[in-house]
Structure formats: structure tokens, C-alpha cells
Amino acid sequence: MRRSREDTRRTRQQIVEEAARALRAEGVEAMGIGELMGRVGMTHGGFYAHFRSKDALVAEACTRGLDEQRAALLAAAENAPDGEALRTIIRAYLSRRHRDVPAEGCAIPALSTDISREPKEVRHAFTDAVESYAGQLARFAPGDTEEERRDEMLALLAGMAGAIALARAVDDTALSDRILLASRALYQRAFASDGGEEARR
């Protein structure tokens, strides 16, 4: 039966939130519409009152997942002591927690492989979100121009995402930990004390 506008809005938002979690935890294919709607307390048929297709939801949930992580990193960097913003980003991203809880982490290591095989609709949303992700964190990266800083941040995010993805893939905790630690050391060294907003203050 028909629901109030407020209920409808809330339901739609819950679906996107659950999808953003499920996507990162299970991947695009494994995230089922039925399971998702069950988590929101409804049956699968109602889904299509909110979204044109699964792809449309995936596109929106990708954006959501990336925006969440961007906001978390931004907050961490802004609260970091002077000159420590980029180090803080690197430490937070390459943490055991981030490796172990994909559902609440960055969508790049969880989904980049899947996304390249998705339809245009999804890839486009993902691309836009990645650009604004790197764009908003760029001020913490070294470089003389906005472009340089954004490119540095893109390379850093891509690299850290690779480290998390590989650390999740391997079946050996010791090896996984070594991947995280060695990657931390690598990026801290590459972006040592020189760059970033603080150096320009």
C-alpha cells in the first residue's frame, strides 16, 4: 500500500545505505536485491518503486561509499597535528581495521576490479566520485599546482587501494600484515615531510 512521502524517502535512503555496505563487503554480483530488501525489512518486489534497475542502485551506492570514505579521511586529516595530515591519512588508510572491515571502508580496493566490467552508468558514477575524492584531499598532497597535488593524491589513493586489496586477497595473516606495513613505509617515505598543505602555510 502507499506510504507517506517521508516513509518513502527514508526507505530509499536505507536501501542505498545497505547497498553501499553490501557492495563493499560482497562485490557487485554477489549483492542480491532480495537480500538487500530483506535487510531493510521489505520484500524484493518493492525495490523497483525506488530504482530503475540494480545498475542504477549500484551507481548510487558506489558514489555513497566513496563519499563516506572521503569524508572520514578529510576529518582525520583536518584533526591531525600540524604537518601530520598526510601521514595521518596514510596511517588510517593502511590500517588493519580498514583491511578487516571492507563494508565500512573505501570502495576503491573493494570494487575497482568489479567496476571496470560494469556498464557505463556505474563506471561514470564511480569516475565522478573518484575525481571529487582525490580533488578534495589534494590539498594535503605535495605539489606546486592544484593539478600536481591532485595527481599525487590520485597516485597515493590508487597505491594504497592496491595494498588493501592485496592484503585482503592473501590467505596468510603474516604476509597480509607485511604488505600493510611495507606499504605504509613506502608511502610515508615517498611523501615524507616535504609536501602538503602544512608545508605551504
Partner DNA sequence: TGTACATCAGTGAACGCGCGTTCACTGATGTAC
34 binds, among DNA, its own copies, none (CB under 5 to 8 A by kind): DNA
Q: Pattern of binders to DNA over 134-153, x per CB under 7 A?
A: --------------------
59 binds, among its own copies, DNA, none (CB under 5 to 8 A by kind): none
Examine residue 165 and tell whether it contacts its own copies (CB under 8 A).
Answer: yes
165 binds, among DNA, its own copies, none (CB under 5 to 8 A by kind): its own copies
C-alpha separations of 117 from 79, 121, 157 in Å: 37, 11, 21
Q: Which three cell numbers stand for residue 120?
A: 557505463
Nearest to 134 by CA among 122, 150, 121: 150
Q: Which of residues 5-34 bind its own copies (CB under 8 A)?
A: 26-27, 29-30
44 binds, among DNA, its own copies, none (CB under 5 to 8 A by kind): DNA
Dihedral sign for Cα atoms in the order 100, 102, 106, 109: positive
Examine residue 119 and tell whether it contacts DNA (CB under 7 A).
Answer: no
Nearest to 60 by CA among 15, 98, 27, 116: 15
Q: From the CB of 148, what's the least distance to DNA, in Å?
A: 41
Cell 573505501 found at: 106
d(CA 134, CA 173): 30
The count of residues in the chain is: 201
Q: Pattern of binders to DNA over 13-52, x per CB under 7 A?
A: ------------------xxxxx-x----xxxxxxxxx--
Examine residue 91 and tell whether it contacts its own copies (CB under 8 A).
Answer: no
